[in-house]
Amino acid sequence: MNILNWSQEMDRLIKQLKEKYVEDGYSQDFLDNFDVVNHLFAPENTQLINQYSKMTGFEIPSQIKDFYQFCGGLKLRNVHNSYFIYRLSFVLNTPKDYLPLRIDTEHGHRILPFGDNIGGEYFAISVDDGDKILYLQEALIDNGVYYSWPDSIYTVAPDFYTFLELIIEDTKAELRNDKTWKFMTDVRKD
């Protein structure tokens, strides 16, 4: 995946989303705040990825490294229930115990949280299980350990690049106002 192309496409979709809200007659207050809660962050110092690796104690997967070379993070408040990809500076300034770095011993593997939604659920890459992307629903986090409830962990993508593609597709569905679309965080078991 070409992250630069992805970020240009995401930026274009965010602008289209704002135009849609203008056409739909949203209030000026809403529109004035739109860019604050819907944007891509510029890349940060790439040395921060090494600090993140040191903080977590494990190697950061290559697709995550690739992303942070060209994009500093994402705030996407107005697509479904929100998508946020953390800035590295935010992660490094967050108390270590606040972010889950491991799933409880029943599931027993290391994770690397890289984002969340507005509801307190996390997006994390499964470091010990093929770099698949997990959606961790709200649960207890204690001392960096995520204590899951039954059926509270879902795989939403096989890897980070696919996750980024799903964000693009979910944004397009939001633009279409597609009520039949299954957003990646609509993960209830049938």
Please report which confidence band the pLDDT of residue 103 belongs to, taking 50, 70 and 90 as the band edges.
confident
Task: Evaluate if residue 35 carries a pLDDT over 70.
Answer: yes
Q: Which two tokens stand for residue 88?
A: 């590295």
Share of the chain above pLDDT 70, in %: 96
Task: Evaluate if residue 45 carries a pLDDT over 80.
Answer: yes
Phi and psi torsions of 104, nearest 5°: -45, 165
Cα 105 to Cα 121: distance, rounded to the nearest angstrom: 20
Q: Hey, is 131 helix, strand or coil?
A: coil
Q: Worst-scoring range by mean pLDDT, 21-35, 50-64, 140-154, 168-182?
A: 140-154
Cα 61 to Cα 149: distance, rounded to the nearest angstrom: 27
pLDDT per position as a tens digit, 105-159? 555 688 888 999 887 889 999 888 788 999 988 888 788 787 877 678 889 999 9
CA angle 92, 164, 155 (to 5 degrees): 85
Q: Which two tokens stand for residue 11?
A: 């930026």
Task: Give pLDDT, residue 166.
Answer: 96
Q: Is 86 exposed, middle or buried (0-12, 13-18, 19+ CB in 10 A)?
A: buried
Task: Give pLDDT, residue 175.
Answer: 95
Task: Give pLDDT, residue 189.
Answer: 47
Least Cα distance to 6 among 58, 63, 60 occurs for: 63
Task: Give pLDDT, residue 190.
Answer: 38
Task: Evaluate if residue 188 carries a pLDDT over 60.
Answer: no
Dihedral sign (CA 128, 49, 168, 103) = positive
CATH numbers and ranges of domains, the chain: 3-176 (3.40.1580.10)
Task: Evaluate if residue 8 carries a pLDDT over 60.
Answer: yes
